[in-house]
């Protein structure tokens, strides 16, 4: 949801900014811009469209070399995508520029007040109001005692409601960039004679692995050879310099046509990374060090509530079923965005899990804060190390999935489900789960990576089926129990990247109304593993067939019977019922991917979406 990259150092700044923006493009891609400062003069270039447009625009304008700059890729909130609304935005003097990720909720009254004072605005954005506010505070400071640019930034930010990650430059302060954050991520990158600010640490991987994750209300000043961090709320700002634990090429696409495809193919390793060091064969259990709960506290949990959005919520839905069926703990899920405005009476020993790949999703963060405010223990399941949700949780589990760049989440989903599997093993073994069941789950976990490899090896068959149905206007996805969230997730994947309308339902709901949609032009994907509900799924398929609806079945390897009921069959290996969703989603990720490619969609940057949704 908008990406910021800022640089001050010894390199020519424009290539650094454009490279950083292209790495952050997954956060928003409707317009982009940069501002550089050289010889005491600001130079702003911005363009509606993708980073490629900005790159062409920059290349067409020869400039004097510059060694500091701020830049931005936008996902529009206030004001349509246009050159004028693209960041950076300047104040009234044109000597100060701002890039901003977030939303200033009270920008309208602030703008009216500024207009009454004679300020003129060139865009419809909230960010331009912020630029004017900082400029105004700076002017006032020049006449008073506060002479630092960072003081003006603090003064302006103290009057706004909303969220921000910002970077600011001023012609009066060559060699300086000021950054600040509240609610939107901002990472400081520390290089040799160079400093960076970025919305995401992975954009810094080619330059440095040394970072500081700024906290809410931190204000930083960066110069080529030093940085300083202060807090707007505390006398001193405590910060930690951390070493990024990623290979330099972790965020590269390599030989794959799209990040999404690369990430689908990474899933065997994703599962290995999620599980590594966490299985305890001796006790037929799992060991999850980061939960920060004693065995007694784990035994005392009466209820688990899993919060998340989109794909993360779907993973939570699988997790909640695992916890109830196998660990005998009452568990449920809620949309993070709904939970935070509810007032539910809950037992004291309720524990919350906030699930989020990015760790920055505003709805999930808001729900986590609400639950904590009410005194509940909240654990996080996150991929991004040092993210806000990870930091504000009482404990949790990291996914160790590596950067996920594709806007459509894939490997983070299987990782999240795997982590819920480990949690189920841990809590289950403290309750009624037998040692033999625990051992069986462990053996199944160990086989998963190779089983995923086997599914991936069948990609061409899945691609052919996807191409066959890619012209459909609408598709249905049906599944029961553990596979109902998979139906939801598969439908979400298809919608997001192919723009084919798709909806997931519990298979048995078909006859309660959805069946009216069945016709020869509406394919139904049915998840039909050979489990306890196999016959019921066969009945559902017959109901679809009777209405001449085409059927694609995701079935268990070796099931020949299913061929009599479906037009196309995708086989997946068998595992224990609670882990089957991990295998079942893989072919449907590939199905969505190849349908989107067949339709010529921009898979990694689907229209209207952004990877990390940091607005409410
Ligand atoms: C998934 O494909 C989506 N892009 C989206 O639903 C995503 O899962 C959701 O916004 C939550 O993101 P998070 O995991 O980073 O919190």
Q: Which domains does the chain have, with CATH numbers?
A: 3-243 (3.60.20.10), 253-457 (3.40.50.10490), 459-603 (3.40.50.10490)
Q: What are phi and psi of 305, to 5 degrees?
A: -120, 125
Across 367-378, average pLDDT: 96
Nearest-angstrom CA–CA distance, 121 and 123: 6
In ligand 1, which atom is closest to the CA atom of 310?
6
Say what the pLDDT of residue 237 is.
76
Strand pairing category for 210-213 and 279-280: unpaired
Which residues carry out catalysis?
A: 2, 611
In this predicted structure, the answer to whether residue 156 has a pLDDT above a threshold of 60 is yes
**Atom of ligand 1 minimally distant from the CA of 492:** 2
**Confidence (pLDDT) at 254:** 86
Best substitution site from 312, 360, 404, 615 to test ligand 1's pocket, by max atoms within 8 Å of Cβ? 312
pLDDT band at 614 (very low <50, low <70, confident <90, very high): confident
Q: What is the pLDDT of residue 507?
A: 96
CA of 407 to the centre of ligand 1 (A): 8
Residues with CB under 6 A from ligand 1: 309-312, 356-358, 361, 364, 407-409, 496, 612-613
For residues 314 and 307, give the distance between their C-alpha atoms in angstroms, rounded to a whole number.
10
Atom from ligand 1 closest to the CA of residue 493: 2
For residue 168, give both structure tokens. Answer: 């600011």
Closest residue by Cα to atom 2, ligand 1, is 408
Of 78-87, 203-212, 496-505, 547-556, the range with the lowest mean pLDDT is: 78-87
500 preceded by a cis bond (ω within 30 of 0): no
Q: Which atom of ligand 1 is nearest to the CA of 408?
A: 2
| C-alpha to C-alpha distances, 361 to 260, 310, 351, 358, 464, nearest whole angstrom | 20, 11, 20, 7, 35
d(CA 126, CA 157): 13
Mean pLDDT value across residues 373-401: 93
Lowest mean pLDDT among 105-109, 146-150, 273-277, 282-286: 146-150
Task: Map tokens 């331009």 to a residue.
Answer: 128
Alpha carbons 374 and 78: distance in angstroms, whole number: 33
**Pairing assessment for the beta strands 350-356 and 377-382 based on DSSP bridges:** parallel
In angstroms, the CA 530 to CA 473 distance is: 30
Q: Which of 1, 26, 264, 311 to mutate to test the pocket of ligand 1 (most atoms within 8 A of CB)?
A: 311
The Cβ of residue 485 has, within 10 Å, a number of other Cβ atoms equal to 26
DSSP annotation of 422:
H
| Ligand 1 centre distance from Cα of residue 312 (Å) | 6
- For 49-96, the pLDDT digits (tens) are 999 999 999 999 888 899 999 999 998 877 888 999 999 999 999 999
Average pLDDT of the residues of the chain: 94
Give distance in angstroms: CA of 476 to centre of ligand 1: 21
- What is the H or E stretch that residue 13 is in? helix 13-24
> What are the residues whose beta carbons fall under 8 Å from the beta carbon of 366, sequence distance 6 or more?
336, 337, 340, 616
With 60 as the cut, is the pLDDT of residue 145 above it?
Answer: no
How many angstroms separate the alpha carbon of residue 616 from the centre of ligand 1?
Answer: 13
Residue 155 sits at the vertex; the CA angle it makes with 154 and 159, to the nearest 5 degrees, is: 110
- Whether residue 149 contacts residue 140, with contact meaning beta carbons closer than 8 Å, is answered with no
User: Which atom of ligand 1 lies at the shortest distance from residue 308's CA?
Assistant: 16
Helix (H, G, I), strand (E, B) or coil at 527: strand
In the block, tokens 């970025």 appear at: 198
Classify 303 as helix, strand or coil.
Answer: strand
Task: Please tell me the predicted confidence (pLDDT) of residue 58.
Answer: 93
Cα 337 to Cα 298: distance, rounded to the nearest angstrom: 27
Beta-carbon neighbour count of residue 74 at 10 Å? 28
Ligand 1 centre distance from Cα of residue 74 (Å): 18
Q: What percent of the chain has pLDDT over 90?
A: 85
State which of 310, 387, 417, 419 you would mutate to test the pocket of ligand 1, scoring each by most atoms of that ligand within 8 A of its C-beta. Answer: 310
Cα dist from 56 to 44, 399, 420, whole Å? 14, 38, 46
Nearest-CA residue for ligand 1 atom 11 is: 309
Q: How far, in Å, CA of 161 to CA of 595, rounded?
A: 42
**Dist. CA 389 → ligand 1 center (Å):** 14
Residue 361 CA: nearest ligand 1 atom is: 16
Give me ligand 1 centre to Cα 357, in Å: 7
| Residue 496 structure tokens | 């997001």
- Which one, of 558, 500, 504, lies nearest residue 527 by Cα? 504
Q: Please give the average per-residue pLDDT across 572-586, as a whole number.
A: 98
Tell me the best of 28, 314, 353, 357 to mutate to test the pocket of ligand 1, counting ligand atoms within 8 Å of each CB and taking the most.
357
- Determine the pLDDT at residue 143: 59
Cα 427 to ligand 1 centroid, rounded to whole Å: 27
Other C-beta atoms within 10 Å of 330: how many? 14
Nearest CA, atom 4, ligand 1: 408
Helix (H) or strand (E) holding 352: strand 350-356
pLDDT at 144 over 60: no
Name which of 198, 197, 98 is nearest 156 in CA terms.
98
Output the CA 608–ligand 1 centroid distance in Å: 14
**What does the alpha-carbon distance between residue 539 and residue 251 come to, in Å, rounded to a whole number?**
45
Quick one: DSSP state of residue 160?
A: -
Distances (CA, A) of 379 to 42, 268, 288, 296, 341: 45, 26, 12, 17, 19
In this prediction, residues 466-474 reach a mean pLDDT of 98
**pLDDT digits over 245-262, tens only?**
887 778 888 899 999 999
Mean pLDDT of all residues in 499-523: 95
pLDDT (mean) for 571-585? 98
Separation between Cα atoms, residue 546 and residue 15, nearest integer Å: 60
Q: Please report the atom of ligand 1 found closest to the CA of residue 407.
A: 4
Question: So what's the pLDDT on residue 199?
Answer: 94
Mean pLDDT (whole number) for 307-326: 98
Nearest CA, atom 16, ligand 1: 356
Written as six digits, the tokens of 310 are 């989109």
Q: How many CB atoms lie within 10 A of CB 128?
A: 28
Give 109 Cα–ligand 1 centroid separation in angstroms.
32
- Alpha helix segments (H runs only) across 328-361: 336-339
Compute the chain's Rg from CA coordinates. 26
SS3 string, 178-195, reads EEEEEECCCEEEECCCCE
Q: What mean pLDDT is predicted for residues 259-288?
A: 96
Ligand 1 pocket test target in 27, 259, 263, 309 with most atoms within 8 Å of CB: 309
Question: Nearest C-alpha to atom 5 of ligand 1 is from which residue?
Answer: 310
Smallest CA-to-CA distance from 305 within 294, 291, 319 is with 319
Q: Which residues contact 473 (CB under 8 A, 6 or more apart)?
A: 500, 501, 521, 522
- Protein residue with its CA nearest to atom 6 in ligand 1: 310
Residue 459: other Cβ atoms inside 10 A:
18
pLDDT of residue 240: 92
Question: What is the band of 142 on the pLDDT scale with cuts at 50, 70, 90?
Answer: low
Query: Could you report the per-residue pLDDT of 6-29, keeping only the tens digit for each?
Result: 999 999 999 999 999 999 988 888
CA distance 111 to 134: 13
CA-611 nearest atom, ligand 1:
4
The stretch 469-483 carries a mean pLDDT of 97
Summarize the confidence of residues 580-599 as an average pLDDT. Answer: 98
Residue 100 C-alpha from the chain's centroid: 19
Q: How far apart are the first and last CA of the chain?
A: 11
What was the pLDDT predicted at 387?
86
């Amino acid at each position: 949801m908008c990406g910021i990259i800022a640089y001050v150092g010894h390199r020519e700044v424009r290539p650094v900014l454009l490279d950083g923006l292209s790495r952050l493009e997954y956060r928003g891609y409707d317009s982009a811009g940069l501002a550089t400062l050289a010889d005491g003069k600001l130079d702003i270039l911005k363009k509606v469209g993708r980073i490629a447009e900005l790159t062409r625009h920059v290349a067409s304008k020869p400039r004097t070399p510059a060694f500091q700059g701020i830049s931005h890729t936008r996902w529009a909130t206030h004001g349509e995508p246009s050159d004028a609304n693209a960041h950076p935005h300047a104040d009234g003097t044109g000597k100060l520029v701002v890039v901003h990720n977030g939303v200033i909720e009270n920008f309208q009254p602030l703008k009216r007040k500024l207009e009454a004072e004679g300020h003129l605005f060139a865009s419809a954005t909230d960010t331009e109001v912020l630029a004017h506010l900082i400029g105004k505070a700076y002017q006032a400071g020049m006449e008073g005692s506060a002479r630092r640019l960072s003081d003006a930034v603090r003064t302006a930010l103290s009057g706004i409601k909303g969220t921000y990650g910002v970077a600011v430059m001023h012609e009066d302060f060559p060699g300086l960039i000021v950054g600040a954050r509240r609610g939107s991520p901002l990472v400081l990158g520390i290089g040799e004679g160079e400093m960076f600010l970025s919305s995401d640490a992975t954009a810094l991987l080619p330059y440095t692995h040394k970072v500081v994750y700024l906290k809410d209300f931190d204000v930083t000043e960066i110069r080529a050879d030093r940085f300083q961090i202060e807090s707007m709320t505390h006398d001193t700002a405590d910060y930690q310099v951390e070493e990024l634990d990623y290979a330099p090429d972790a965020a590269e696409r390599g030989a794959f046509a799209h990040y999404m495809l690369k990430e689908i193919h990474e899933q065997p390793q994703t599962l290995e990374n999620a599980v590594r060091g966490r299985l305890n064969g001796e006790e037929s259990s799992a060991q999850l060090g980061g939960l920060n709960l004693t065995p007694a506290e784990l035994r005392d949990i009466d209820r688990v509530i899993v919060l998340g959005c989109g794909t993360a919520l779907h993973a939570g839905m699988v997790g909640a079923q695992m916890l109830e069926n196998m660990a005998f703990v009452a568990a449920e899920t809620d949309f993070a965005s709904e939970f935070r405005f509810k007032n539910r009476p809950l037992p004291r020993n309720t524990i919350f899990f906030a699930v989020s790949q990015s760790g920055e999703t505003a709805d999930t963060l808001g729900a986590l804060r609400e639950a904590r405010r009410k005194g509940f223990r909240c654990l996080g399941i996150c991929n991004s190390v040092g993210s806000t949700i990870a930091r504000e949780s009482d404990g949790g589990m990291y996914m160790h999935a590596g950067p996920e760049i594709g806007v459509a989440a894939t490997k983070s989903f299987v990782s999240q489900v795997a982590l819920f599997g480990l949690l189920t093993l841990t809590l289950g073994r403290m309750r009624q789960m037998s040692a033999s069941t625990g051992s069986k789950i462990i053996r199944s976990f160990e086989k998963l990576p190779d089983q995923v490899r086997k599914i991936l090896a069948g990609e061409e068959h899945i691609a052919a089926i996807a191409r066959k149905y890619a012209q459909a206007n609408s598709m249905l996805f049906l599944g029961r129990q553990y596979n109902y969230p998979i139906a939801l997730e598969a439908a979400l994947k298809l919608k997001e990247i192919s723009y084919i309308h798709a909806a997931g339902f519990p298979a048995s709901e078909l006859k309660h109304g959805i069946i009216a949609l069945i016709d020869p032009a509406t394919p139904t994907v049915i998840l039909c593993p050979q489990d306890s509900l196999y016959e019921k799924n066969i009945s559902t398929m017959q109901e679809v067939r009777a209405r001449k609806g085409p059927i694609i079945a995701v079935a268990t390897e070796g099931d020949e019977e299913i061929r009599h009921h479906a037009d196309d069959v995708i086989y997946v290996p068998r595992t224990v019922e609670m882990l089957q969703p991990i295998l079942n989603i893989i072919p449907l990720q590939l199905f969505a991917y190849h349908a989107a490619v067949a339709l010529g969609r921009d898979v990694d940057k689907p229209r209207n979406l952004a990877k990390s949704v940091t607005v409410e």
